Structures are given as structure tokens and as C-alpha cells.
């Protein structure tokens, strides 16, 4: 800051030039320059009072003239930067922005244009190292493959063992079920055979129709009313029922099956022809069993009462017998009997595969060739040793007329090659109402 003495001694050149004569200068930005140098002590001697008064007046005038400049200096406290600094700063910022843009553009170009893979090294050591790594990788893969094969083989053996055990258990279970099923089928077959016999016996029974029963009941009431009056009580019915039951019991006890036998010897049936009989040797087993002597074919038409040996023995395992019936009948069934297995010595002599034929003989003594044309099969059957010893077989041939002759043929027995025993043969049927001279209808 200028001292007051210097300011008074050297007036400002701006004050000396009038305002009207001053050239117009371009308006510039005011710049405040401060003198920050230290001022030495004033060497000017003290002024006299008049001088001091004049100096004071000059100072006051200078202060009044420089008042607006001082105010402007106070308002602008910061020093502006030089132009070169501003230019340098802008250039630096633009350079930094340009560098950033170039960097981002380079990154984008590299991302869109990746570099090509580098060619394998051509150096021999690098190739050897690469081959070693490939060999190591192949060895590792080979070891892993062998381990997997070992594990697969172990798993395969384990699965085979489990499957084998399961297969064995399943086979044992199936075998057990098969045996149980076969046993059940055998039992069912036996029951079926029994049921078949029962049904056959039921079919052979002659049931009364409703009309026949009503007719019988009316005749029964008439007979009772004629003997005991018009009133029929329960005791009379019981007495008649008891009489009927006793007659049926006697019939079953006499013949065993409750059916009329038209071939029985006591009723008039007889054997007219037969194959070669078996003649046992004296002192042999069959000689004592069959009673010795000449065999009698009429035994097969008589009740044997279950006694072993009371039969007609035929030579070999096949043969035939022709029987004359007591009367002409419409045949219904044939019954073949053998000794019971409970008392039999040897059941291999029983006939097995059999056939029964019949015809009507109008001329007694006719040769075999004469009646062969009239003969027709009535039944074919197999005698089963596992069933009852008395077995009845129905005539299956339809439209059978009246017959009075039958021929019994057997082609095999149950194992004996020496003889075949026929204990009893029965023929069942009914006599026609008006037989006349009717013959056998083939």
C-alpha cells in the first residue's frame, strides 16, 4: 500500500487528464494488484502543519477518488487462473476422455474379433511334453476303464448270484405248488369218478313221474280202504312203506346193485361159446387157488359172494364169451365184477379193455358167421382197479332193439400173461311190452 507522503507528492496521471479529453478505451476486467512487500520506515521528515494540512487534504481527495476501486477490489477476493492453465486443463481432460474412448473401443474390437488359437509349438521338447501329457491322460483313462470293468464284473456276479438264488427259490416254490396241484387234481379226479358213479346210479334209478305217483297213491288208498274201511291212518302207511323197503333190501342183498340180471344162470342164462379156458397144473399155485379140475364157464353167471378163485379163467390176456340171455330184452347196461382188492391174491388177472356186442338169435344153434352180420357193439369200456370192484357201464348205442345174445370180448388184462379171470358178468335192461317177433335193430 503506498504511503501518504508519496501519494501526495506524485499525483495520479488520470487526475491530470480531463475526462472529456480522454480517449475511449475498451472496457477491461479490473484487476486488483496488491503490494504485499513490506514498506520501510518513512525517511521523509515530518511535515509542518501547513504542509500536513495540505497533505491531508490531498489524501482525502485521493481516497475519495480511489473509493470505487477499493470496493471493487474487496468484491473480487480470488485471483483468476492464467489462460495457459485453463487451456492445459481442458486439453488434459479431452486427452483423458479420448484415451478412455480408445480403450473401450479396443476392448469391443477384441471381444468381437477373438485372436486365433496359437499354433502348437514346433519345438521338440514342447512336443515331447505334449505327448507325455497325452500318454498320461490315456493311462489315467485306461486305469479308470479297468476299475469300471472290475466294478461292473463284481456287480454282474452279485446280480447273477441274487438271480440264481431267486430262480432256485421260485423253482422250489413252483415245484411245491405243482405237487400240491397234482395232489388236488388226483383228489378231484377221484371225487369226479365217485360223482360219475353216483350220477350213473342215479340215472339208472327209475323215478316215478307225478302222474304215476298219483295213480299209485290212488290205488294204494283204494287197497287200504277195501281192507280197513274208508279211512286211511298213518300206521297203515308206515306198514306199507316198511314192506316196500324190506323188499328193496332183499333185492339189493340178493344181487348187490338192485338191478335185474338177465344173464344170471339161476334165471336161465347160460354160456354157449367161449375162448380156450385156462387149465391149471396140479399142485401149482393157480391149481389150488382156482379149485382144480375143469373150469366151468357158468361160474361167471353166478354170484361169487366175493370169494377169491370163484371165477371162470380164460387162457392168456385176451378172449371172449358168448351168453344166451333168459329172455329178449332192450339192453341198458352191463356190469363186470372182480374180486375185491381187500381179499384178492392177485388182481393182475382182471380184464381191462372190454367190448360188449349183442344180437337177436331167432335160430338156435346158428353158426358164428350167420349171426356176425346181425351183431352190433353195445358198449366199450375199461375196467379200473382203483374204483369199486363192481362196475356198471351203460349202453351208449342209440336205437337198440331187442336182443337175447351178447358177446363179451376183452383184448387185455391188468398184467397177467397166463390167464384172465371173469368173476361175474351181468346184463341189465327191460323186456319190451309187446316183443312179438321183433329182432335186433342195428
Among residues 266, 269, 259, which one has the least CA distance to residue 408? 269
Separation of CA 100 from chain center = 76
Helices 67-75 & 49-65, crossing angle to 10 degrees? 50
Look at residue 303 in the predicted model and tell me its pLDDT. 84
- Grid coordinates representing 275 are 375162448
- Per DSSP, the three-state class of 353 is strand
Look at residue 214 in the predicted model and tell me its pLDDT. 73
Contacts of 403 (CB under 8 A, 6+ apart): 325, 328, 329, 330, 331, 358, 359, 360, 440
Beta carbons of 430 and 326 less than 8 angstroms apart: no
Mean pLDDT in order along the chain per 10 residues (442 residues) = 42 44 51 50 45 50 51 55 84 90 88 72 75 90 92 90 90 92 88 80 63 70 60 69 68 69 90 91 54 76 82 93 93 92 85 94 67 83 91 87 93 93 92 56 40
- Strands 353-359 and 270-274 come out as unpaired
Beta carbons of 8 and 44 less than 8 angstroms apart: no
CA distance 94 to 88: 10
Beta carbons of 431 and 328 less than 8 angstroms apart: yes
- Strands 353-359 and 403-410 come out as antiparallel
Look at residue 85 in the predicted model and tell me its pLDDT. 85
CA distance 5 to 7: 5
Give the CA radius of gyration of the chain.
75
Look at residue 442 in the predicted model and tell me its pLDDT. 39
Amino acid at each position: 500500500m503506498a504511503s501518504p507522503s508519496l501519494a501526495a507528492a506524485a499525483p495520479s496521471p488520470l487526475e491530470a487528464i480531463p475526462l472529456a479529453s480522454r480517449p475511449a478505451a475498451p472496457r477491461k476486467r479490473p484487476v486488483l494488484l496488491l503490494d504485499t512487500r513490506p514498506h520501510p520506515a518513512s525517511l521523509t521528515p515530518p511535515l509542518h502543519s501547513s504542509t500536513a494540512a495540505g497533505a491531508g487534504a490531498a489524501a482525502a481527495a485521493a481516497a475519495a477518488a480511489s473509493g470505487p476501486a477499493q470496493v471493487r477490489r474487496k468484491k473480487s477476493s480470488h485471483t483468476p487462473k492464467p489462460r495457459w492453465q485453463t487451456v492445459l486443463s481442458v486439453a488434459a481432460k479431452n486427452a483423458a476422455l479420448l484415451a478412455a474412448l480408445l480403450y473401450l473401443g479396443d476392448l469391443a474390437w477384441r471381444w468381437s474379433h477373438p485372436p486365433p488359437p496359437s499354433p502348437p509349438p514346433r519345438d521338440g521338447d514342447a512336443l515331447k511334453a505334449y505327448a507325455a501329457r497325452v500318454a498320461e491322460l490315456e493311462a489315467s483313462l485306461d486305469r479308470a476303464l479297468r476299475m469300471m470293468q472290475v466294478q461292473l464284473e463284481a456287480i454282474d456276479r452279485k446280480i447273477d448270484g441274487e438271480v440264481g438264488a431267486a430262480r432256485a427259490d421260485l423253482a422250489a416254490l413252483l415245484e411245491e405248488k405243482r405237487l400240491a396241484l397234482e395232489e388236488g387234481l388226483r383228489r378231484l379226479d377221484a371225487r369226479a369218478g365217485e360223482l360219475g358213479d353216483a350220477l350213473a346210479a342215479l340215472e339208472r334209478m327209475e323215478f316215478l313221474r307225478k302222474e304215476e305217483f298219483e295213480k299209485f297213491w290212488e290205488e294204494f288208498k283204494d287197497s287200504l280202504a277195501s281192507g280197513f274201511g274208508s279211512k286211511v291212518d298213518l300206521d297203515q302207511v308206515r306198514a306199507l312203506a316198511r314192506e316196500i323197503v324190506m323188499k328193496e333190501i332183499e333185492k339189493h342183498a340178493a344181487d348187490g346193485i338192485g338191478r335185474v340180471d338177465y344173464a344170471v344162470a339161476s334165471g336161465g342164462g347160460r354160456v354157449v361159446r367161449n375162448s380156450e379156458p385156462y387149465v391149471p397144473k396140479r399142485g401149482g399155485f393157480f391149481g389150488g387157488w382156482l379149485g382144480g379140475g375143469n373150469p366151468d364157464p357158468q361160474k361167471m353167471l353166478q354170484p361169487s359172494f366175493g370169494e377169491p378163485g370163484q371165477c371162470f379163467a380164460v387162457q392168456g390176456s385176451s378172449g371172449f364169451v358168448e351168453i344166451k340171455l333168459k329172455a329178449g330184452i332192450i339192453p341198458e347196461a352191463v356190469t363186470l365184477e372182480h374180486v375185491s382188492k381187500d381179499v384178492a391174491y392177485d388182481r393182475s388177472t382182471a380184464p381191462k379193455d372190454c367190448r360188449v356186442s349183442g344180437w337177436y338169435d331167432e335160430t338156435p344153434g346158428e353158426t358164428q358167421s350167420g349171426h356176425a352180420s346181425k351183431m352190433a357193439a353195445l358198449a366199450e369200456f375199461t375196467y379200473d382197479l382203483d374204483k369199486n370192484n363192481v362196475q356198471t357201464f351203460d349202453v351208449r348205442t342209440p336205437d337198440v332193439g331187442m336182443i337175447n345174445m351178447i358177446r363179451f370180448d376183452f383184448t387185455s388184462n391188468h398184467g397177467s400173461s397166463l390167464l384172465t379171470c371173469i368173476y361175474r358178468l351181468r346184463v341189465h335192461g327191460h323186456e319190451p311190452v309187446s316183443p312179438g317177433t321183433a329182432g335186433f335193430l342195428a
